[in-house]
A and B are shown apart, each in its own frame.
Chain A
Amino acid sequence: MYNYVEDGDSKTSAYMEQDQEKYEAFMTRIEAGEKIEADDWMPADYRQALIKLISMHGISEIMGALPEKEWVPKAPTLKRKLGIMAKVQDEMGHGQLLLRVAEDLMKPYGKTREDLMEDLLNGDLKFHNVFHMPTKTWADAGMVGWLVDGAAIISQTNMLDASYGPYQRALQRICQEEVFHAQHGESIIMALAEGNDYQREILQESLNRWWPALLMFFGPSSAETTGSSKQDIMINYKIRKSTNEELRQAFLSKYLPRVFSLGLTVPDETVRYDEKEEKWIYKQPDWEEFKQIIRNKGPRSKERLRVREIAYENNRWVRQALATDPVSV
């Protein structure tokens, strides 16, 4: 479901020496709205930015299944069980789709999916900040669908016209499915909002807990906040259109009225829409905490990575078995 995380600890490598003519032809193509394909020539920093974006997106889909997975077996009705099973299965499917796209891009560097998994486990490959957070109640299962996927839709629809064809096509499908996920989340939220005192209480408590993570979702508004930012290169290369702050504003405009209309509040007494400036004024989340979270020092980072690591190690014998000569079936 998830977009790029500004990790704030690595600068984009400087331009490699490039064939100026090829570079100009490349820029002309993307300026004209043409799509770049896996085997086409592309500047090294374009490739690197894509690898980072797409592998992080893919791995976040997979790590994103873990917090929701906690509530899949516990879903309180048959309908909810079917809904959340379908939803999380979709997320795994997105992960698979995206890792395939990333694998093609990594090929010139001789890297494979194994490398991505290992990078994840050793901390080199980050996953999205929201998936480091705990899911404490059933309301969180709704919140992830409603506002986390809602935020993902805003950031991903912003890339639906991305210059890289394989990613752009994967996103068409992903965004369509995310709309269902947001509806699934909204349906859980509505049931809780219209429910009894206990249900309303876990709903508000969940929103309070998720709020800072949702603001962080889009990344810092500028490089000054966390040390570096890839948003400029992403916009120059026509991978995305809007800045982090523009996306966050779009999220607030879409969802805050809905939050308030359900009788819910957000844990920010200063939040308001400024008519003159035509933007939402809000209390900044703790960006220092954000940096810690995406360095795998979030509340549930270690546990989630541990589960992934166990799955990886514990099934090694299966992957090794599959790597032997195939049988005829």
Chain B
Amino acid sequence: MSKIVETAEIARQDPSYYQALRELLFQLADDDFIISFRGSEWLGLAPHIEEDVAYSSITQNTMGHAVMYYNLLEELGEGDANFLAHDRGASDRRNGAYLEKRNGEGKYLEEPYFDWALAVVRNYFYESFKKVKLEAISTSSYKPLANVAKKVLMEHPYHFAHWKLWIKQLQTSSEEAKKRIQNRIEEAWEEFLDVLELGNYGNEMVQHQLIAIDEETIKGNWLEEVKTVLVAMPEGPLGKKYGSGRNGEHTSDLDQALGTLAEVFQSDKTAIW
């Protein structure tokens, strides 16, 4: 079976298709949105100025990707993109739980003892996963989504290369850096699994050819990539310590994020900003 759904209107006619598409779009949008938020907290705090310029550029692009997915949801009839981004509670969010994790100790305005090792490991893991998922949706049966994926894939190699270079360098430099990176890798290993999953509607996503591969294949492809880069692969299986963000399970770190990123928006939802 091969079908192409050209418009939101046609997608809405099949409830099963619509439900799976909606879930997939929220995963894509919320992943990029939350990791971009964590990136924006880093602004001005990166290890050197050149990195601040590069990281904030990546963060801004990533927010742009989230916006494209929220816009697709708006077209589907899910509501205004700004409300989708700022006015959904934690249990409605579909991002992987690891992505919402705080950047380290302190707050972005006070005593920000953020951890660059976490930033490097998280962004490398995320960008390598994002590549796998984007490629799998670039042939999506939902044409508007395939189009967005192709566009994002043009920017993505630069982001991916950036974080890959960081992790390679730090893994092979000072003893302290090696240790810090390895600790964050071990930690991520217990927390990253739900990022690779497709959640409750994963089967439908595959059946409707919204995505070309299932979550086992996503996981396999991702492991293939990271194996080529990690100096020491953690021994245990991948875990999802915080539950499945794909099904709305989240940590208090997400509440903190939502409280900050929607503070002004929530101060007056009827206002035009």
Chain A residues packing against B (C-beta within 8 Å)? 62, 65-66, 69-78, 80-82, 85-86, 88-89, 92-93, 95-96, 99, 138, 188, 191-192, 194-196, 198-199, 303, 306-308, 310-311, 314-315, 317-322, 324, 326-327, 329
Contacts and interface: CB of A to CB of B under 8 A. Distances in A.
Contacts of A303: 110
**Central interface residue in A65, A88, A92, A188, by most chain B CB within 10 Å:** A92
B82 A78 contact: yes
B174 A317 contact: yes
B271 A195 contact: yes
A311 B53 contact: no
For the complex, would chain A's binding face be called helix, strand, loop or mixed by DSSP majority?
helix
Interface of B: 37, 40-41, 43-50, 52-53, 56-57, 59-60, 63-64, 66-67, 70, 81-82, 85-86, 106, 108-114, 116, 164-165, 168-170, 172-174, 176-177, 180, 260-261, 263-265, 267-268, 270-273
For the complex, would chain B's binding face be called helix, strand, loop or mixed by DSSP majority?
helix
B113 A314 contact: yes
B47 A92 contact: no
A78 B70 contact: yes
Contact of B169 (A65, A95, A322): A322
Contacts of A326: 169
A163 to B, nearest CB: 26
Contacts of B164: 329
Given A73-B108, A77-B265, 7 more contacts: A73-B40, A78-B67, A78-B82, A81-B63, A82-B67, A196-B270, A321-B173
Nearest to B56: A89
A78 B268 CA distance: 15
A327 B231 CA distance: 13
Contacts of A89: 43, 53, 56-57, 60
Nearest to B173: A321
A321 B273 contact: no
A70 B268 CA distance: 19
A188 to B, nearest CB: 8
Given A199-B271, A307-B112, A324-B174, A69 B44 contact: yes
Contacts of A329: 164-165, 168-169
B176 A96 contact: no
Nearest to A63: B44
B169 A74 contact: no
Contact of A76 (B81, B112, B265): B265
Given A65-B44, A73-B260, A74-B264, A88 B56 contact: yes
B174 A321 contact: yes
B53 A315 contact: no
Nearest to B170: A321
Nearest to A308: B44
Contacts of A314: 45, 112-114
Contacts of B271: 195-196, 198-199
Contacts of A85: 40, 43, 56, 59-60, 63
A160 B108 CA distance: 36
Nearest to B38: A73
Contacts of A82: 60, 63-64, 67
Contacts of B268: 196, 198-199
Contacts of B109: 70, 307
Nearest to A313: B113
